[in-house]
């Protein structure tokens, strides 16, 4: 058991922040946080996002079907063509990735696989850059294969737009530690809902 005196000594030596982070991250994941992610992780995240987009498109398609059935009972329901569904799915995926990367830097797939998209300075992407990268990803998804061969784990889109997908596991409970008394009147803690 750590005594309170030992705790204060660790705090004054600055070792406490790292320990707090360590408390929130699995030990095996600590060494590679911040590195550019590899192909497998990114393809899984991308697959999750595509699956979500497909589910959403399917949902929209089902909703349209139900609305038509309800509004025109007894008549034959004409559904949109498959091409239309694909276009809608692409559009939805582009919009979804643009919003996600420009705001949190993560899509749902990225969040689940512990990824975050950053620009050349390590900041979240701007809206235009995010939209451009989203167009690239939706229009040429095979650019992701370049991650395998890139010396810095960059996809083709990343190489062109100078962005990076890094391992950055979401830390949801880091804010369990209370802020210092003089900073308690500031903004609510990021970990709070």
Check if the beta carbon of residue 129 is closer than 8 Å to that of residue 97: no
Phi then psi for residue 165, to 5 deg, are -110, 115
**Minimum separation from the CB atom of position 168 to another protein (A):** 4
Q: Which residues bind another protein (CB under 8 A)?
A: 1-2, 4, 7-8, 11, 17, 19-21, 23-26, 28-29, 32-41, 44, 112-114, 116, 118, 120-123, 148-153, 164, 166-171, 173-183, 185-187, 189-191
Phi then psi for residue 116, to 5 deg, are -150, 145
Angle at 43 between CA 39 and CA 48, to 5 degrees: 155
**Minimum separation from the CB atom of position 170 to another protein (A):** 7
Residues in the chain: 193
Tell me whether residue 35 or residue 140 sits nearer to another protein (CB atom): 35
Tell me whether residue 24 or residue 159 sits nearer to another protein (CB atom): 24
**Minimum separation from the CB atom of position 125 to another protein (A):** 12
Tell me whether residue 89 or residue 130 sits nearer to another protein (CB atom): 130
**Minimum separation from the CB atom of position 1 to another protein (A):** 7
**Minimum separation from the CB atom of position 58 to another protein (A):** 24
Tell me whether residue 73 or residue 190 sits nearer to another protein (CB atom): 190
Tell me whether residue 74 or residue 186 sits nearer to another protein (CB atom): 186
**Minimum separation from the CB atom of position 61 to another protein (A):** 29
Strands 115-118 and 164-167: antiparallel
Tell me whether residue 48 or residue 85 sits nearer to another protein (CB atom): 48
Which of 147, 152, 145 shows the shortest CA–CA distance to 120? Answer: 152
Distance CA 131, CA 98 (A): 5
- DSSP SS3 for 88: helix
Check if the beta carbon of residue 150 is closer than 8 Å to that of residue 117: no
DSSP state of 163: -
């Amino acid at each position: 058991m750590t005594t309170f005196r030992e705790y204060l000594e660790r705090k004054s030596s600055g070792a406490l922040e790292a320990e707090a982070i360590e408390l929130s991250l699995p030990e095996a994941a600590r060494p590679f946080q911040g590195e550019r992610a590899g192909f497998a992780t990114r393809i899984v995240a991308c697959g999750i996002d595509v699956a979500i987009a497909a589910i959403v498109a399917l949902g929209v398609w089902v909703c349209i079907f139900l609305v038509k059935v309800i509004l025109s009972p007894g008549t034959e329901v004409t559904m949109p063509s498959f091409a239309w569904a694909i276009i809608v799915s692409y559009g939805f995926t582009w919009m979804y990735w643009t919003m996600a990367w420009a705001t949190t830097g993560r899509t749902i797939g990225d969040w689940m696989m512990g990824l975050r998209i950053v620009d050349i300075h390590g900041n979240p992407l701007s809206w235009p850059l995010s939209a451009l990268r989203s167009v690239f990803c939706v229009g040429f998804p095979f650019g992701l294969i370049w991650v395998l061969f890139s010396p810095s784990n960059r996809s083709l889109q990343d190489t062109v737009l100078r962005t990076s997908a890094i391992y950055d596991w979401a830390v949801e409970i880091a804010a369990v530690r209370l802020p210092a008394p003089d900073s308690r009147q500031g903004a609510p803690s990021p970990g709070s809902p």
